[in-house]
Structure 1
Amino acid sequence: MAKRKASKRPRTMAEAVQISLSEVVQEDPTPRPLEDTQPSQVTQPSQAPHLPQPIQPPSNAPETSMKKCGRGSAKGIHQWGTGTKLKLMFNNDFQPLGDEGSRLKGQLGTMLRNPHRVPLTYLDWNSVPEEIKSAIWKEIEDNIEDCPAEFQPVAMRSCNKLWKDHKAKTKEKYYTKHEEDPDILLKVPKRVLPDQWKELVSYWRTMDAKLIATRNSKNREWRGPDHRTGRTHFSQIRHEMSANGENTDKMSVFIKTRDENDPDVKAVVEEFNQNLAEIPESLQTIEVRNKIFHDVLGEDGHGYCKTYGAGVLRSAVYGQSSRSPHASSSSNLNEITRQVREATQEIEQRLSSEIEQRLRREIEQRFVGEMERMLNEKLMAHLGHLKHVSDKWYLDGHEKVCLVSYTIPKHDVAEGIVVSKDPLVKVDGKPLGSDFWKVLVKKAKIPNASLERPRKKFCTIGEAVDCAVAWRSCDVFVEE
C-alpha cells in the first residue's frame, strides 16, 4: 500500500490563504475576483531586518478608533542596548523575580511588538524562523548580567506568549470589531505594516481561520476565570507568598490571583472546599490539595502548568521522571484513601462490636425478664393460695406469712410471722437492709431448704424454727 505524502504545513498566513484558495478552486472552478481575499505580495518576514525601526502608518490611512485611557504598553528598559547590563534574580525555575523581572517582561513585549522584527503573519510561534529567535535570545544574553543558559527556554516561552497575546489583541481590537467595515484594509493598526495587515485580514477571513478561532474560544472557556495580575508574573506572586509564610499550593495561588467576588471564582472555590472537606485535616497535604485543584479545574495543558505562568516547563514542576503531572499526587491520594478506608473499617468494626455487645445484653435482659415472668406465672400457679405481701402491706406482725425459696424452681418452704421491716434492725448482728425483713419461723414445710441469709448457728429452715431469720421481702407471701 502506497504511503500517503505528508502535506507541507504552511508557516505564514499568505501560504495558508493560498492553500485555502486552491481548495476552494478545486471545489468550485468558477473564476471569482480576488480583491479582498488575495493577499498582496509581501516581503517574507524571515528576510526582515533584526534591528527595530520606527514605523508610521501611511498618511492617507484614516485614524483608527479613539484611544481609551488605560495601562498602555510597557515602555521597555531605557538602558537596553547601551552596554549597561540588567541584574536579575531568578527562582528555582529560572523565572526572573522582582521589579527587574517585570521590566524585562516589558522590554520583551516591546521587542515582539515590532512589526519589522517578528511579524504577526506567521501562523504560530513554531513557524517563526530560528534566526529570528536566535537574534532575540542573543540580545537578551547581551543585556543581562551573568545570564544563565537555563533561562533560554523560559525566555522563549515568555516571548511565545507575549507574541500570541499581541496578535490576539490586534485581532480583537482592529479586526473582530470592524470585520464588516468595507474600509478595514485601510485602517492599519499602529504596530502592523500595511502589507502585513492585508495578509492578516485575508487569512482571518478564511474558513480555516474561523474554525480555529471557534475551537480556541471553546478551549479558552475550559481554563477557568481569568487572573487579575496584570504584568506581575506568577513567579513573583509565588515568591511574595512564600516570603510572607503563605501556602503556595495551586488553589492558594489561584485565589490570590483572582477576583474573589467573581461568581465563577466563588463556584470554583466552593467546589474545591467541598471536596477537601472529605479528606481528614491531618492528611490535607499540598499534593492532595493540588490533586483536588485539578479535579475541579482540569489538568494542565500541553506545555504549561496552571498557576505557574508562562515559561515554566512541566519537568521543572513535576520532575523529569514523572510520566504524569500528578503521578505522585495520585499515589499520595491513593495512600490517603487507603488509610481513610482502613480507619473507617476499624471504626465500623468497633461500632459493630459495641452494637453486638449491646444487643447481647439487651437480649439477655429480655431473656431474664421473660424467664422471671414465666417462673412467676408458674409460682403463682403452684402457690395459687398465696398472695405477695406487697399487696397486703398493712401486716400487723401477727398474721401468718409463707416463706418462698429464693432458688428456682420456687417452693413454699415455711410459715412464719413478720417481726420487722426496719432496714436498721439487725439479725445475727447484721442490719436487714432494704431488701430483707425479719421473720419468725413457726413451721418448716421443707426442713432442708437453705436460708436466704444463713445464721451463725444454723443454715436450714428446719434448724430455724422458733427463731428469727432475715428473709428477702420479695419471697414473703400471705395466704388468701
Structure 2
Amino acid sequence: MGLLNLLAWKQDLLALDGSWKILLPLNDQGQPIDDDGKIFVPWLGTFCHNGLLCPLVPAGWPKVDEKFKDDCWKEIKQRYLIDEDIVKPLDQKGWAMHILGVLRRNRRTKLKKIHVRGWTKEQVLARRTPRRVMAEQWEEMVNYWFDEKTVTLSNKNKVSRGKQKEIAISGAESFAQISHDMAKDKGAPVERANVYLKVYRRRDGTGVTPHAQGNITRMEELLSREGVRLQGETGSGIL
C-alpha cells in the first residue's frame, strides 16, 4: 500500500493544503503507476462529479472555458508533484487536462448509458436530473444526445465498436498499471506478450475474441521457437 490508504484517499487528499505534496509515480511514458498512481486517476475522476469545478458541458472538452481547467490544475498542483524529468513543467497542465478530459468523456458516456433508453422521451428525461449532476448541465446534455446529428454519429460509432477485434478484460485499470504490478510481483520486467495475455485472455486460457486468440497462438509459436516461457492470467506457463 502506498502513502494514502485506498479506503480513505478522498479525505486524505482533501486535507492536503499545499504545504506537503505527494510525488506522483509515473512510468517513462508519463502514465500514473503504483498505489499512489491508482489513487490519482479516480481522484481526478471525482472532479467530473462537481459541475462547478469541471462542468459536463459543452460536449467537447476543448470547448470548455479555460477558467475551469485552471481551477482543476490548481487543485492538482496543491496536492501532487509531477516528475519534471518525465513530464516537462510546461507540459504538465496539458498532460493532466488530457487525463481529465478522458475521464469527463467517460462520465458523460456512463450517464447516457444508464439513463437514455430507446423509449425515453427527451422532454421527460430532461426533467429527471441524476444525483450529483447540475440541472442545467443535464438538460443541455440531454438536448445534445437527442440531436439528430448526435444520434446519427452515435449509431455509426456503435457499428464501429461492434467490429472491434479485441476487447480488454482489464476494466478501469490501465495497461501501464497492470504491467507495473506484474513486474513488481515478479521482481523483474515482464514481456509485453505476458501483459497482452493478462488483458486479452480468459481464465480458461482462451482469447476474448477470435482475433485475440489468433494473436495468442502466434505469440506462443514465436516464443516457443525462442525458448521463452509465456505466462498468462493463471500465472502458469503455457509453453
Deviations 1:83-117 (A, max 9, x none): 34223222111222211111111210111221122
Q: Name the aligned partner's letter for residue 248 of structure 1.
A: E
1:77/1:104 contact within 8 Å kept: no
- Higher RCO (C-alpha 8 Å, min separation 6): 2
Q: How many equivalent pairs are there?
A: 211
CA distance in structure 2 between the aligned counterparts of 1:257 and 1:281, rounded to whole angstroms: 21
Match of 2:142 in 1: 201
Match of 2:231 in 1: none
Does structure 1 residue 127 correspond to structure 2 residue 127? no
Match of 2:208 in 1: 265
Q: Name the aligned partner's letter for residue 271 of structure 1.
A: G
2:27/2:33 contact within 8 Å kept: yes
- Mean CA deviation greater in 156-165 or 272-281: 272-281
Question: After the TM superposition, which residues 323-334 of structure 1 pair with which residues of structure 2 at under 5 Å, given as runs?
Answer: none
1:77/1:103 contact within 8 Å kept: no
Say which one has the larger Rg.
Answer: 1
Deviations 1:384-441 (A, max 9, x none): xxxxxxxxxxxxxxxxxxxxxxxxxxxxxxxxxxxxxxxxxxxxxxxxxxxxxxxxxx
**Cα distance, 1:170 vs. partner?**
0.5
Cα separation, partners in 2 of 1:213 and 1:181, compared to 1, 3 Å: closer
Q: Name the aligned partner's letter for residue 34 of structure 2.
A: G
Tell me the SS of whatever aligns to 1:145: strand
**Cα distance, 1:281 vs. partner?**
5.2
Match of 1:78 in 2: 12
**Cα distance, 1:260 vs. partner?**
0.7
Cα separation, partners in 2 of 1:222 and 1:127, compared to 1, 3 Å: farther
Which residue, 175, 194, 210 being the options, matches 1:252? Answer: 194
**So what's the TM-score if we normalise by structure 1?**
0.39
Match of 1:176 in 2: 117
Q: Name the aligned partner's letter for residue 260 of structure 1.
A: R
Q: Which has the higher strand share?
A: 1
RMSD: 3.2
Q: Name the aligned partner's letter for residue 119 of structure 1.
A: P
CA distance in structure 1 between the aligned counterparts of 2:223 and 2:181, rounded to whole angstroms: 29
**So what's the TM-score if we normalise by structure 2?**
0.73
- Mean CA deviation greater in 211-220 or 171-180: 171-180
Question: After the TM superposition, which residues 128-147 of structure 1 pair with which residues of structure 2 at under 5 Å, given as runs?
Answer: 128-145=64-81
Deviations 1:106-134 (A, max 9, x none): 21011122112222221222222333223
Q: Which has the higher helix share?
A: 2
Deviations 1:151-182 (A, max 9, x none): 44442222121101100001111223662486
Does structure 1 residue 113 correspond to structure 2 residue 49? yes
**Identical columns (%):** 24
Question: After the TM superposition, which residues 227-242 of structure 1 pair with which residues of structure 2 at under 5 Å, given as runs?
Answer: 227-242=168-183
2:48/2:56 contact within 8 Å kept: no
Cα separation, partners in 2 of 1:283 and 1:169, compared to 1, 3 Å: same
**Cα distance, 1:240 vs. partner?**
2.2
